[in-house]
Amino acid sequence: MAAPIALDGLYEEQRRFLWSLCYRMTGSAADAEDVVQDTFVRAIERPPRRTDEPLRPWLVKVALNLARDLLRRRRRRDYIGPWLPSPIETELDEPGEPPSHEPATFEGRYDLLESVSFAFLVALETLTPTARGVLILRDVFDYSVRETADALDLSEANVKTSHHRARKAMAAYDGARQPPTAALRESTRQALVHFLEALEHHDVDAIETLLAEDVRTTTDGGGEFRSALRTIEGREHVMRFYLAVVGNAANGVVRILSLNGVPSAVADIPAPGPGIAPRLTLTAELNHEGKIAHIYVVSATAKLTALR
């Protein structure tokens, strides 16, 4: 029988990294928290045979298996409207550092802040749960092929094949990607503030100037609140959508916070009408010309658990 694990300090020592990994795997703050909690329950109830060895590899394997199972269940459930990640507050030094691994030898590694961006997490939704795990371990947390194989119970050949396919599936994201540099964050903050001001004043000319011609907006109300049931495309359609709904948040209190690597708006509406969410987040993504290319709005209550 395996010896019991001394949990004193283990939870605080490993929780942040495991949560960081599980959030990228699931795109959900609440699900990441559940997976981490279940992982430590497993450590208490069914500990590994060798408790004298480092526990992080074992904890990572358990967490990844639980996260993959969760993703498979999620894909079998119907979801009303588009699915978006949970907004999380981020700082410049995004929490959760990768462990020591072999030096990276591949190109295009995603840093920790980019890998929690809405665009990146939405792109990951096109991958299978296993391919998602491979890409995150290899290209975000710098795991070697062998370490990735051990963590996901795959052969090294399968890791290489899955990694190649995952990279291919991410090609569209890679072609448009913009890592969240300080300059991009400041440009995003200015564009967002000007967009909100233009909406407040119904300044059509200013809105048109800020939006890219092929701008899109994706809203996630989870079937709980009013939201668009598909992604809206094109400057005219996006502008009309926001001008039509801006009155619903007329008395809202808006804060600018760093969410998922970029400045975003959090609106709290004190007395929302029927079907109107009491809180929502708005995150803007800029294109290479500095225009707003995508606007993500999340209002589903279950998605906002990580916000103050």
List the helix and strand counts (H, then E) for the chain.
11, 6
- pTM of the predicted structure, to 2 decimals: 0.91
Which residue shows structure tokens 């030096």?
Answer: 103
**Burial (Cβ within 10 Å: 0-12, 13-18, ≥19) of residue 143:** buried
- pLDDT of 3 reads 53
Which stretches does DSSP call E strand in the chain? 211-220, 232-233, 253-259, 262-268, 279-286, 292-298
Per-residue tens of pLDDT for the chain, all 308 residues: 455 555 567 788 899 999 999 999 999 999 999 999 999 999 988 888 776 678 999 999 999 999 999 999 999 888 999 999 999 999 754 444 444 444 444 444 899 999 999 999 999 999 999 999 999 999 999 999 999 999 999 999 999 999 999 999 999 999 999 888 999 999 999 999 999 999 999 999 999 999 999 999 999 999 999 999 999 999 999 999 999 888 877 788 999 999 999 999 999 999 888 999 999 999 999 999 999 999 999 999 999 999 98
pLDDT for 98? 46
Burial of 171 (0-12, 13-18, 19+ CB in 10 A): exposed
Q: pLDDT for 148-162, tens place per residue? A: 999 999 999 999 999
Q: Can you give the pLDDT at residue 13?
A: 86
Question: Residue 188: which H helix or E strand, with range?
Answer: helix 182-200
The pair of structure tokens assigned to 152 is 């996901």
Question: Which spans in 77-155 are helix H?
Answer: 118-124, 129-135, 145-152
Contact indicator for 136, 21 with CB cutoff of 8 Å? yes
Give dist(CA 284, CA 194) in Å, integer: 12
Q: Rounded to an integer, what is the distance from CA 274 to the centroid of its chain?
A: 29
- In terms of residues, how long is the chain? 308
* 248-275 tens-digit pLDDT: 777 889 999 999 999 999 999 998 889 9
